[in-house]
A and B are shown apart, each in its own frame.
Chain A
Amino acid sequence: MDQDNRIGDTLLEVKNISLSFGGVKALTDISFDIKEGEIRAIIGPNGAGKSSMLNVINGFYHPQEGEVWFRGKKRESMKPYQVARQGVARTFQNIALFKGMSTLDNLMTGCITHMKTNIFLQAIWKGPAEREELEFRERVEHIIDFLGIQAIRKTPVGRLPYGMQKRVELGRALAAQPKLLLLDEPMAGMNLEEKEDMSRFILDVNDEFGTTITLIEHDIGVVMDLSDRIVVLDYGCKLADGTPDVVRNDQAVIDAYLGVSHDD
């Protein structure tokens, strides 16, 4: 694959982010960038601040210091749904689907950020509302085809096995047609086969739709294989940043993972 061709300019940049909850410093002076079309991983031991970082990117947390630059513009403090409208979608560490709804309906909710018609038109479901829904349905059907989940189209999500739910969650994020897709531990709790499937989908999403992906993952093998560049966090600080090879040979990273005494 031609890397230079696939990866473009900077899509999102975080500059000197610091975030604390009361006296607890979750993130300290973190800066890195995400380039268009790349697969970017954030790794680190438990409690390193990975999910907090993701929550900052999608606007759920507001850092006390630092700036987020998205598509060349400094982003003002926003609500998560406003960030979502800008083209940032995510999946969650603990699956957050609507358990009682079918796969299809869950995916349809992913389109909502793009909905232009208002609630009254939707209620009458005529003209533009109907056209819009048909358009969304077609988009969703393409995703169903893409993820190979035709057989569970009408199945309530709560009845699906865990690995399948993860796949549906990815589908819902894709339905929003994101510029930037944030995946919070997409492979947690999966068996080997499910991990292989999910890795395939992540690569395919990146390749087929050109979506920029940022993921948090504990399975280092998977991360090293999938990612173009990796940020390593530990205790809220950035330890290293670079290609898998660079990160793999970084002494600070090795120490963090193999464990050295932290009490001074």
Chain B
Amino acid sequence: MADTPIETNKINNDLDTFPKLLLDHAKKRPNKDAIREKDLGIWQSWTWSKAAEEIAALANGLASLGFKRGDKLAIVGNNRPRLYWGMCSAQSLGGIPVPVYQDSVADEIQYVLDHSEVRFALVEDQEQVDKMLEIYDSCPAMETIIYDDPRGLRDYDKTHLYDFEKLQDIGREFAKENPDYFLQEVNKGSGEDIGIFLYTSGTTGKPKGVVMTNNNILITARNSVKFDNLTENEEIVSYLPMAWVGDHIFSYAQAYVTGFCVNCPESTETVATDLREIGPTYYFAPPRVFENILTTVTIRMHDASKLKQKMFNYFMGVAKKTGVDMLDGKQVTAKERFLYWLGNILVYGPLKNTMGFSRIRLAYTAGEAIGPEIFDFFRSLGINVKQLYGQTEAAVFITMQPDGEIFADTVGIPAPGVEVKVNDDGEVIYRGPGVFHSYYKNEESTKETKNEEGWVLTGDAGYFADNGHLKIIDRAKDVGKFVDGTMFAPKYIENKLKFFPHIKEVVAIGDGKDHCTAFINIDLEAVGNWAERNNVGYASYQELAGHEEVYKMMLESIEQVNKDLSTDSLMSKSQIHRFLILHKELDPDDGELTRTGKVRRRIVAEKYSVLIDALYNGSKDCYINTEVAFEDGRKGSIEATLRIQEAETYTPAPATKGAN
């Protein structure tokens, strides 16, 4: 990393805010596409100069409604150009955008909007307007709601509601009377200003508002752009929640820094098709998306003809042997190179095309550990998937994997400008230009997380491997101990199991107990497909999950993992002795997962305490009645008697002490 010159604290004075960058692009590359959205079956594009005009009109509209410096604009909805413009409009006026997870229920949104004293909200459609009106009275600061899609809103009381286009028209009128207002306001902004509030989903307690300055975001974005040589020619598809820091960096900050084009899908269900149509060159996805793609490919190959299966299997074998080496720039023989070339014509090329990865130059995954098989599958196809390790408080980047040094089990070297070390408690800490300003209205938490020298606690336990790459074990607070004092790292065990395609989610239990047990969630798509092929009939998720054959399949996976764990001296104690398959999927609506899909251990442990007791008292089955929340907020309940299955455990291989 020494050979890349890095700007850590300096930034071009003229381009230290998003609106200034916008105007710069509008001047330098006015006719280049800035953003696209598929609407009415056609990709509609806006060039940088058109985008600047739209943003200025909206900003002037907001100004005419009395939007002042420091005011907050909530943004709720799927990735739409107008919502991204809303961010920049607010920032033009010295305001602060507050993106909110669009699938949150009204209560969750209420907390965020009230906590951040939002005065204005820009929302996508009727669904979100309804939520806003529901919480309107419990958010005293709230004044105006602006909506993008007017459908179904014709008969609403319009006292607090504004149509996006109408507000822009008001803005254009406003601009006629105050022609210089927009530019003046933009020029008042600086890198030191607060640029955005990003609320963390929070595995525990209420969400915290992470306050970021423009410098935090922009310097980090510039460094990462340089690290990966991103140019204005990249194409990305933005489909991850706008409230998530990753999307803010990838779809907003990096696009504004380089001038590349952001593509918004037509709807959440069409992402796969839209991805194929765009063929992004730069792509970001959490591990589960890559897992899903691989699962789909595997399922479809099972349904293919024998000849195709043979060809696929043969060439995937070739790719496994040579693909990764070729990507890492290592030497391969001429014969291997030829076979890979042939495979590319027959298998890899068409396969990448169906996945929408034909033009891909760089893909990132982060958020959770990715299975080595999954990771290698994509890399062997010549797709440069890399891992990074980051969090909201760091404006994403803490460590990144440089080209040619990609390992599945480590997350890379410190990102440019970031210092990373492991403190005495084994916790990973860092400091750098992206380190957050503070938690909004929460000085206590700010002090707990960030010390005076700017070092931030990640809350993750990890260590640097011999090659200088960081390895993350688990959330520091989740690492527990068995009764005899041996370390228990649930995530480590869970990840090993989750790499099996038919397992969707695992919760490992063992802290304070004398051995390890687990809850399993089946992957409905994979297991359902298996059931179809094997003539296993089922009427519901619950019935399939409790099926004898499914239990057998899970048992095999668990015993395989147990065997694997037994060879690791540090982890051999963590072999799973008993397990059960849950009768329902863990769900964020029931509070069991965070909105980003991470298990909330405490809540799961409380809710299913009966099951945990049953896992440890030797019973053969256990009755449970669970309350579930439907998407519209209504409640129902599911009852089931779950079978508990014993698993074979293996005696640890004698004394081969693994390094850490």
Contacts and interface: CB of A to CB of B under 8 A. Distances in A.
Nearest to A6: B155
Interface residues of B, number: 13
B152 A204 contact: yes
Interface stretch (B67-75, B266-274, B375-383, B614-622): B266-274
A151 B270 contact: yes
A1 B155 contact: yes
A102 B290 CA distance: 29
Q: Closest 3 interchain pairs by CB?
A: A151-B269, A141-B40, A141-B41
Contact of B266 (A138, A142, A150, A208): A150
B154 interface: yes
B151 interface: yes
Nearest to B273: A151
Interface string B257-272: 0000000001101100
A105 B469 CA distance: 54
Given A138-B40, A141-B40, A145-B40, A150 B155 contact: no
Nearest to B267: A150
A144 interface: yes
Interface in B226-285: 266-267, 269-270, 273
B152 A150 contact: no
Given A137-B41, A142-B40, A153-B41, 18 more contacts: A1-B155, A138-B40, A141-B40, A141-B41, A141-B42, A144-B40, A145-B40, A146-B151, A148-B267, A150-B266, A150-B267, A151-B267, A151-B269, A204-B152, A207-B152, A207-B154, A207-B155, A208-B154
Nearest to A146: B151
A1 B40 CA distance: 29
26 contacts: A1-B155, A137-B41, A138-B40, A141-B40, A141-B42, A142-B40, A144-B40, A144-B41, A145-B39, A145-B40, A146-B151, A148-B267, A150-B41, A150-B267, A150-B269, A150-B270, A151-B267, A151-B270, A151-B273, A153-B41, A204-B152, A207-B154, A207-B155, A208-B151, A208-B152, A208-B154
Contacts of A151: 267, 269-270, 273
Contacts of B266: 150
A75 to B, nearest CB: 33
Dominant secondary structure at the B interface: loop
Contacts of A145: 39-40
Interface residues of A, number: 15
Nearest to B630: A193
Contacts of B269: 150-151
Contacts of A146: 151
Contacts of B273: 151
Interface in B19-45: 39-42
Nearest to A144: B41
Residue from A141, A144, A145, A208 with most neighbouring chain B CB atoms (10 Å): A145
Nearest to A140: B41
Contacts of A208: 151-152, 154
A14 to B, nearest CB: 31
Contacts of A207: 152, 154-155
Contacts of B39: 145
B244 to A, nearest CB: 23
B432 to A, nearest CB: 41
Interface string A55-91: 0000000000000000000000000000000000000
A146 B152 CA distance: 10
A150 B78 CA distance: 15
Interface string A141-168: 1101110101101000000000000000
Contacts of B42: 141
Interface string B337-348: 000000000000
Interface in B135-158: 151-152, 154-155
Interface in A118-149: 137-138, 141-142, 144-146, 148
A191 B41 CA distance: 29
Nearest to A138: B40
A189 to B, nearest CB: 17
A150 B270 CA distance: 7
A264 to B, nearest CB: 46
A235 B152 CA distance: 39
A1 B155 CA distance: 7
B71 to A, nearest CB: 33
B234 to A, nearest CB: 25
B62 to A, nearest CB: 27
Contacts of A142: 40
Interface in B115-130: none
Nearest to B632: A196
Contacts of A204: 151-152
Contacts of A153: 41
A151 B275 CA distance: 13
A153 B266 CA distance: 12
B49 to A, nearest CB: 26
